[in-house]
Chains A and B, each alone.
Chain A
Amino acid sequence: MSPRRTPSGGRIDRLRTIRFTFDGTAYTGHQGDTLASALLANGVSLFGRSFKYHRPRGVLTSGVDEPNALVTVLRGEVREPNIPATMVEIHDGLTAVSQNRFPSLAYDVSAINQLGGKFISAGFYYKTFMGPVIGPLKGTRFWMLCEKIIRRAAGLGRAGHAADPSRYERMNAFCDVLVVGSGPAGLAAAHEAAQSGAQVILTELDPCFGGSANWSGETIDGEPAATWASDVVGELKTHDNVRLLKRTTVWGYYDGNTLAAVERVSDHKDTPAKGAPRHRHWTIRAKNVVLATGAFERSLVFPGNDRPGVMMASAAMRYANEYGVLAGEKIAVLANNDSAYRAAAALAKAGARIVAIADLRSDVSAACRTLASEAGAELLTGHAVIGTEGGKKLSGVKLAPFSATSGVSKGNARDIGADCLIVSGGWSPTIHLASQAGARPVWSDDLQAFLPPETGKGWIGAGAFNGTFSTAEVISEGFSAGRKAAGQPALETATLPDVEPASLDPNPAPVFEIRAKGKAFVDLQHDVTADDVRLAHLEGFVSVEHLKRYTTLGMATDQGKGSNVPGLAIMAEALGKPIPEVGTTRFRPPYAPVSVGALAAERFGDLKPDRLTPMHDWHLENSATMYSAGLWFRPMIYGGPGETIEQAYVREAAATRETAGIVDVSTLGKIAVQGPDAAEFLDRVYSNVFSTLPVGKARYGLMLREDGLVFDDGTTWRLGEHDFLMTTTTANAGKVMQHLEYFLDVVWPDLKVHLTSVTDQWAGAAIGGPKARDILASCVTGTRVDNEALPFMGIVHGEISGAPVMICRLSFSGEMAFEVYSGAGHGTHVWEALIEAGKPFGMVPYGLEALGTMRIEKGHVTGAEIDGRTSARDLHLGWMLSKKKPFIGSAMMDREGLAASGRLELVGLIALDNRPLSGGAHIVEEVDAANPHGSLGHITAACFSPALGKYIALALVSGGKARHGKRAHISDPLRNRFGPVEIVSHHFFDPEGKRMHG
């Protein structure tokens, strides 16, 4: 066993040896070790190189606040950079490498940066690269030249290029009480909440519940604290209403008490358990939250405070007590408060030699003196560390007398040999989640830290989070927070647990910095020094938000967990203002880095359904090639063997105009508009009049938007005095419904109208062509379908093969055509009966391509022309704008811009070179392929017209009608298609409508 490993104690399993590698060297550790504790046990002091100056760095903390010891974990080809070694649990086969060093950690060529440190102080990038161009070495071009080199030299770990094969999953959870943090406060809160029967979730970011109980060395009610904690956890496990989540970081606190957490399920294993994800993301909705997130010990700012071997006092104590690892053999202590004394005593007990305790305060309590002598340490009150010695590892510290009131050191310095310096500069409660939830922190002069406000909305604080550091009081606060969060009345008399030894005073002397010669770091991860902060002040930065951005203080992956308060304190001193007046920045999510995999975790069951018409299977069985149209699937063509798409739709369209064709129109939006005011309502929402429509007739209607542009079109059928069936385009069905509902609910609540979406209730088949009426007549019973019984736009009810149907004579294809509606359940039955009836006549089924071709031939508009920019007049639908009544859009449709000349208007185009046209191509007067310009408009839809035997298109062209009969060119540089066209009326085929009127 390594000399740094204590023979007993802690929660590691010394019987289980684990092998791993760091920077290619094989090491061993024990079950329960973190990468940091295992490497420390192996005597490793150098963990990485710093961000800017490439200074050697060790491990400063034992947790999520670690700024220095960032490593890249390799899993096969997959690299995960910037993971604190303090958060990596070792397992057999773990491979980790250090970061930001070249060629190796020990011999780093960029370390020369620290000699030229003056040149890369605060604002280096702004000053060097954002300034005006003076000579060749300034400005953006210079930046582009230097960027690659700088990006390589400055920075953190490198992301890999290999795809991550891991699984990630997501969970949603609801609870009455979410307890964040499982230290004594969190355990107490969870215990009380669980007792009350509330649904409780307890989260802990570490692999082991208990927090400080695992290393405080205290006894609670006579038991070791760690035992007390595991007893409480054991009891919580027996409750069905409690969910315990370890290795789970709550990283975001959002409105409505919605919290985000990530659970690291498999990172600590060589291979995940079968089916287990790597990370699991949790979205937790909690009625109440107990924030028991503890506090971070912060360092002091003094020259050389970043030397490997400098460590937080509580971290050193935790390594000794929880992991059985000594951070050093000869340990010096620097403190401005009492808490480091307990660490010193614990380390001495674990076998280290405490060489000296330098306390910034001129006098210390009797309790501290006792602990100092227990530790066998020389106690130097009124002393400070003014420098550290050593290269890649601490070899000694320089102590000098120091006045906490003046903040200066005076007198003779003294060198003391030490391989570890433990520091306590006070405690900062972990208020991040409360801050995210909107709480404004309150400055405490006693604790020299920001505390959460006493109460929050939706959350209750407990323990060190509140600035409470006596374990007995912490537990008591936890109990009452747990009761309160679960809606239980407070206990009348709170009994404090019996905690030994008695707590020490955590209030520090108000000193953050020891000024002496040398680089003194505030933010170790981003290499921001105290001088950088002062320089920012000298350069005129007064706002803490600006300070942060200019110096990048607190902007690294640790988000300034340890550096925010010292940075503010130095800024406040420079400004001559008290710290609370300088203020603090608001913490934002995430509290700690979150894997992108967890955020993008797989979802099962897409919420968007596939919408299939009742006849879907028939289409598939009859060689249809399907399109997806929004959520719907619709036949594109019914292709024959060896047929191209063009051949198929040309055949289908030609056959329809020759004899008859049938198309599935079930996808059209259908809305039942019912009630005594239904006709009045339709008059308001359509541009044309519907109240005059007789029962048993249909009418084509146009809707405008409030701004006067065209919204949608379709036919509406009057089935009864108060009963209309509105149809909409397939694409706009949902939007039209929402539009109508809005007006009924918000604008005209007085109208007695009810809307029901019946799109899925009706199956629709449109049958058109010269033989369509004969086909219908041969299969419809219960009604006549001749011109007298069923005139254009008339509606009849009858039966087809025993199924009730509703037939409306209307035409999209321009042929004599009928829409046959039946209940969706009868859809296929009626469709098959129609197909059967059509056989003797040579009727064909046709798809969307043929439908589109026939509508282009007829010049009917669809979504390609109703593109949110066209007015009714642009589409030659001005005749549908009633002058007799106001309607939605009527007030805005005549605005200057919408009535101006030169607007794009609907026209037809015929390709004069007999080659295909494409949607999106521009129309120009003269082709200039090298320099395309002078667009008059664009093609909206194009096809080969079997009726005309030509390639034709609809287009929106400036001038419109005035250009009929004129030649122009299409200019489509993207597809390299140029050529002459003739501009014609959009009514290509049968402009008088003789065919559909029969």
Chain B
Amino acid sequence: MLITCPYCGPRDVSEFAYQGDGNRTRPDPASTDAEAWSAYVYDRLNPAGIHNEIWQHAGGCRAHLAVVRDTLTHEIKSVRFAREHGAPPHGRRTSGAKA
């Protein structure tokens, strides 16, 4: 699998560290909504198909990337800086539902 880092160009997946489901939204730090925190910390989407993911270019520029990937084909649909595009480009999950 190749991920095209916006800084470094196309690089082998072995340079990257998977940093989890990119659909999660962190509740407000002061929030005491246990459901929302539980969903954020424990619930993960595991779709067969298009998935929003966060990858870190750990063996390169160390930037976090918002990657849209097809889990069936490993096709990378888009790669953007998570810093600039924290919101997942492929539709956001609104609740903690285990889809």
Q: Which residue of B lies closest to A887 (CB)?
A: B29
- The answer to whether A742 touches B64, judged by C-beta atoms less than 8 angstroms apart, is yes
- The answer to whether B86 touches A706, judged by C-beta atoms less than 8 angstroms apart, is no
The answer to whether A749 and B84 touch (CB under 8 A), given A742-B56, A742-B64, is yes
- The answer to whether B31 touches A891, judged by C-beta atoms less than 8 angstroms apart, is yes
The answer to whether A891 and B64 touch (CB under 8 A), given A706-B41, A742-B19, A745-B82, is no
In whole angstroms, how far apart are the Cα atoms of A706 and B40 in the complex? 9
- The answer to whether B63 touches A745, judged by C-beta atoms less than 8 angstroms apart, is yes
B68 at the interface (CB under 8 A from A): no
B99 at the interface (CB under 8 A from A): no
Residue in B34, B75, B83 whose beta carbon sits within 8 Å of that of A749 in the complex: B83
Rank and list the top 5 A-B pairs by shortest CB-CB distance, nearest first. A255-B74, A886-B29, A745-B64, A749-B83, A256-B2
List chain A residues, Cβ under 8 A from B26.
747
- The answer to whether A746 touches B74, judged by C-beta atoms less than 8 angstroms apart, is no
In whole angstroms, how far apart are the Cα atoms of A478 and B74 in the complex? 29
What is the predominant secondary structure among interface residues of chain B facing chain A? loop
List chain B residues, Cβ under 8 A from A684.
29
**B1-19 residues at the A interface, CB under 8 angstroms:** 1-2, 17, 19
Q: Which residue of B lies closest to A437 (CB)?
A: B73
A707 at the interface (CB under 8 A from B): yes
List chain A residues, Cβ under 8 A from B1.
255-256
In whole angstroms, how far apart are the Cα atoms of A684 and B26 in the complex? 14
A741 at the interface (CB under 8 A from B): yes
**B67-99 residues at the A interface, CB under 8 angstroms:** 73-75, 82-84, 86
Q: Which residue of A lies closest to B42 (CB)?
A: A707
Q: Which residue of A lies closest to B84 (CB)?
A: A749
Q: Which residue of B lies closest to A255 (CB)?
A: B74
List chain B residues, Cβ under 8 A from A895.
34
The answer to whether A741 and B86 touch (CB under 8 A), given A747-B26, A892-B37, is no
List chain B residues, Cβ under 8 A from A707.
41-42
List chain A residues, Cβ under 8 A from B37.
891-892
The distance from the CB of B52 to the nearest CB of chain A, in whole angstroms, is 12
Q: Which of A707, A738, A742, A745 has the most CB of B within 10 A?
A: A745
Q: Which of A256, A886, A891, A892 has the most CB of B within 10 A?
A: A891
- The answer to whether B54 touches A886, judged by C-beta atoms less than 8 angstroms apart, is no
List chain B residues, Cβ under 8 A from A798.
none
List chain A residues, Cβ under 8 A from B41.
706-707, 892
- The answer to whether A886 touches B82, judged by C-beta atoms less than 8 angstroms apart, is no
In whole angstroms, how far apart are the Cα atoms of A824 and B1 in the complex? 38
In whole angstroms, how far apart are the Cα atoms of A887 and B26 in the complex? 12
Residues of A within 8 A of B (CB): 255-256, 438, 684, 706-707, 738, 741-742, 745-747, 749, 886-887, 890-892, 895
The distance from the CB of A685 to the nearest CB of chain B, in whole angstroms, is 11
Q: Which residue of A lies closest to B30 (CB)?
A: A886
List chain A residues, Cβ under 8 A from B32.
891
- The answer to whether A738 touches B56, judged by C-beta atoms less than 8 angstroms apart, is yes
List chain B residues, Cβ under 8 A from A747.
26, 86
Given contacts A747-B86, A891-B37, 5 further A-B contacts (CB under 8 A): A684-B29, A738-B19, A742-B54, A747-B26, A892-B37
- The answer to whether B74 touches A256, judged by C-beta atoms less than 8 angstroms apart, is yes
- The answer to whether A255 touches B64, judged by C-beta atoms less than 8 angstroms apart, is no
- The answer to whether B83 touches A746, judged by C-beta atoms less than 8 angstroms apart, is yes
Residue in A738, A890, A891 whose beta carbon sits within 8 Å of that of B58 in the complex: A738
Residue in B29, B62, B73, B74 whose beta carbon sits within 8 Å of that of A741 in the complex: B62
- The answer to whether A738 touches B17, judged by C-beta atoms less than 8 angstroms apart, is yes
16 A-B contact pairs sorted by A residue (CB < 8 Å): A256-B1, A738-B17, A738-B19, A741-B56, A742-B64, A745-B56, A745-B64, A746-B54, A746-B64, A746-B82, A749-B82, A749-B86, A891-B29, A891-B31, A892-B41, A895-B34
List chain A residues, Cβ under 8 A from B42.
707
The distance from the CB of A438 to the nearest CB of chain B, in whole angstroms, is 6
Q: Which residue of B lies closest to A892 (CB)?
A: B37
In whole angstroms, how far apart are the Cα atoms of A746 and B54 in the complex? 9
In whole angstroms, how far apart are the Cα atoms of A32 and B28 in the complex? 74
Q: Which residue of B lies closest to A741 (CB)?
A: B62
In whole angstroms, how far apart are the Cα atoms of A71 and B64 in the complex? 53
What 0/1 readout, one digit per residue, does chain B (50-67) give for beta carbons within 8 Å of chain A? 000010101000111000
List chain A residues, Cβ under 8 A from B17.
738
The distance from the CB of A988 to the nearest CB of chain B, in whole angstroms, is 36
The distance from the CB of B87 to the nearest CB of chain A, in whole angstroms, is 11
List chain A residues, Cβ under 8 A from B58.
738
In whole angstroms, how far apart are the Cα atoms of A738 and B82 in the complex? 14
- The answer to whether A891 touches B86, judged by C-beta atoms less than 8 angstroms apart, is no
The distance from the CB of B48 to the nearest CB of chain A, in whole angstroms, is 14
List chain B residues, Cβ under 8 A from A706.
40-41
In whole angstroms, how far apart are the Cα atoms of A349 and B24 in the complex? 74
List chain B residues, Cβ under 8 A from A891.
27, 29, 31-32, 34, 37
- The answer to whether B73 touches A255, judged by C-beta atoms less than 8 angstroms apart, is yes
Residue in A256, A741, A887, A890 whose beta carbon sits within 8 Å of that of B64 in the complex: A741
Q: Which residue of A lies closest to B13 (CB)?
A: A256
List chain B residues, Cβ under 8 A from A892.
37, 41
- The answer to whether A745 touches B83, judged by C-beta atoms less than 8 angstroms apart, is yes
Q: Which of A256, A684, A706 has the most CB of B within 10 A?
A: A256
List chain A residues, Cβ under 8 A from B84.
749
In whole angstroms, how far apart are the Cα atoms of A472 and B58 in the complex? 52
Q: Which residue of B lies closest to A737 (CB)?
A: B62
The distance from the CB of B21 to the nearest CB of chain A, in whole angstroms, is 12
In whole angstroms, how far apart are the Cα atoms of A887 and B83 in the complex? 20
Residue in A256, A746, A887 whose beta carbon sits within 8 Å of that of B86 in the complex: A746
Q: Which residue of A lies closest to B62 (CB)?
A: A741
The distance from the CB of B96 to the nearest CB of chain A, in whole angstroms, is 14
List chain B residues, Cβ under 8 A from A749.
82-84, 86
The distance from the CB of B45 to the nearest CB of chain A, in whole angstroms, is 16
List chain B residues, Cβ under 8 A from A255.
1, 73-75
The distance from the CB of B60 to the nearest CB of chain A, in whole angstroms, is 13
Q: Which residue of B lies closest to A705 (CB)?
A: B41
The distance from the CB of B31 to the nearest CB of chain A, in whole angstroms, is 7
List chain B residues, Cβ under 8 A from A741.
56, 62, 64
List chain B residues, Cβ under 8 A from A887.
29
The distance from the CB of A464 to the nearest CB of chain B, in whole angstroms, is 27
In whole angstroms, how far apart are the Cα atoms of A892 and B29 in the complex? 11
- The answer to whether B73 touches A438, judged by C-beta atoms less than 8 angstroms apart, is yes
Q: Which residue of B lies closest to A256 (CB)?
A: B2
The distance from the CB of A727 to the nearest CB of chain B, in whole angstroms, is 20
List chain A residues, Cβ under 8 A from B34.
891, 895
The distance from the CB of A776 to the nearest CB of chain B, in whole angstroms, is 37
In whole angstroms, how far apart are the Cα atoms of A747 and B22 in the complex? 11
List chain A residues, Cβ under 8 A from B29.
684, 886-887, 890-891
The distance from the CB of B29 to the nearest CB of chain A, in whole angstroms, is 4
Q: Which residue of A lies closest to B75 (CB)?
A: A255
The distance from the CB of B69 to the nearest CB of chain A, in whole angstroms, is 10
Q: Which residue of A lies closest to B72 (CB)?
A: A438
Q: Which residue of B lies closest to A757 (CB)?
A: B62
List chain A residues, Cβ under 8 A from B27.
891
List chain B residues, Cβ under 8 A from A746.
19, 54, 64, 82-83, 86
The distance from the CB of A732 to the nearest CB of chain B, in whole angstroms, is 15
The distance from the CB of A202 to the nearest CB of chain B, in whole angstroms, is 23
In whole angstroms, how far apart are the Cα atoms of A749 and B75 in the complex? 28
In whole angstroms, how far apart are the Cα atoms of A255 and B42 in the complex? 30
The distance from the CB of A156 to the nearest CB of chain B, in whole angstroms, is 33
Q: Which residue of B lies closest to A749 (CB)?
A: B83
List chain A residues, Cβ under 8 A from B86.
746-747, 749
Q: Which residue of B lies closest to A438 (CB)?
A: B73
Q: Which residue of A lies closest to B40 (CB)?
A: A706
In whole angstroms, how far apart are the Cα atoms of A255 and B3 in the complex? 12
The distance from the CB of B66 to the nearest CB of chain A, in whole angstroms, is 8
The distance from the CB of A508 to the nearest CB of chain B, in whole angstroms, is 34
List chain A residues, Cβ under 8 A from B54.
742, 746
In whole angstroms, how far apart are the Cα atoms of A935 and B45 in the complex? 38
List chain B residues, Cβ under 8 A from A438.
73
The distance from the CB of A839 to the nearest CB of chain B, in whole angstroms, is 44
List chain B residues, Cβ under 8 A from A890.
29
In whole angstroms, how far apart are the Cα atoms of A886 and B33 in the complex? 13
List chain A residues, Cβ under 8 A from B2.
256
